[in-house]
Amino acid sequence: MRIDVISLVPEAFTPLPQLGVIGRALSRGIAELHLHNPRDFAQDRYRKVDDEPYGGGAGMVLKPEPMFAAFEAIPIVGKRSSLLMTPQGNLLHQSTLERWASTCDQLVILCGHYEGFDERIRTLADEEISIGDFVLTGGELPAMTVINGVVRLLPGTVGTAESLDQESHHGLLLEHPHYTRPAVFRDMEVPPVLRSGDHKAIAQWREEERLRRTRERRPDLYLRWQAQDPR
């Protein structure tokens, strides 16, 4: 997958190639990361990318010309989806990451900055995405969240692909508890079923724990799971 990011601070993304499995995926060509600075497409000698908002108000607004020019300079590779990082967007879910990872050859991520962006920039995006009901100084951290979440789902990134099937939010449920040695630590004991060697019983216990945890910790997810599950 090719990932293109339009950002005023592309240096924020330089740690990604050194970031564990994500870095290895980039170095092995499972994903490509390309960074584009709108300042390089500004039309004046001062490389100006922002201006005062019409109608007055606090802050500066990203100008449309550099953002459009940066976007239009990016080559199209296969099936492409463009994402605008904004607190007004749809909340990011695991199912959305899975959809992008399985259906897209290219993601173009636009990062806002300053007070906001000229409303016309929205027309560049296929989807507007938020990572939560809060505001950050720019779209770079949300963009890195998307990159991490998508790349780890690409074939070959995670050593054991089956591990993705039982993790939190896959199929809406939270993940079951994990334990390792020692069997007893400070009077806290590993559940006997996990030490029984009975794989059928272990699988049943893990499924029950997924349901219990989701019901107790995220009743909203549990209700969504119930609505789609025939059991």
Q: What is the pLDDT of residues 57-82, one digit of tens each?
A: 888 999 999 999 999 999 999 999 99
SS3 179: coil
Domain over 166-228 is classified CATH 1.10.1270.20: yes
pLDDT-derived band at 176, boundaries 50, 70, 90: very high
Residue 41, strand partner residues: none
Distance between CA atoms of residues 56 and 48, nearest Å: 19
Could you tell me the pLDDT band of residue 34, with boundaries at 50, 70 and 90? very high
The per-residue pLDDT for 226 is 92
Output the pTM of the full model. Answer: 0.88
pLDDT at 166: 55
Give yes or no for residue 86 having a pLDDT over 90. Answer: yes
Average of per-residue pLDDT across 163-180: 77
Higher pLDDT, 62 or 171: 62
How much is the pLDDT for 115? Answer: 78
> How sure is the predictor about 161, in pLDDT bands with cuts at 50, 70 and 90?
low
Q: Which pLDDT band holds residue 206 (cuts at 50, 70, 90)?
A: very high
Q: Where in the chain is the domain with CATH 1.10.1270.20?
A: 166-228
User: How much is the mean pLDDT over the chain?
Assistant: 92
According to DSSP, residue 47 is labeled: -
133-165 CB burial, b ≥16 within 10 A, e <16: eeeeebbbebbbbbbbbbbbbeeebbeeeeeee
Find, among 224, 190, 194, the residue nearest to 206 by Cα: 194
Q: Which CATH architecture has domain 2-151?
A: 3-Layer(aba) Sandwich (3.40)
What are the pLDDT digits (tens) for 110-138? 998 877 899 999 999 999 999 999 999 99
**Structure tokens, 189:** 């004991």
pLDDT of residue 9: 96
Tokens of 171: 């199929």
Instruction: List Cβ neighbours of 210 (8 Å cut-off, separation of 6 or more).
Output: 166, 173, 174, 175, 176
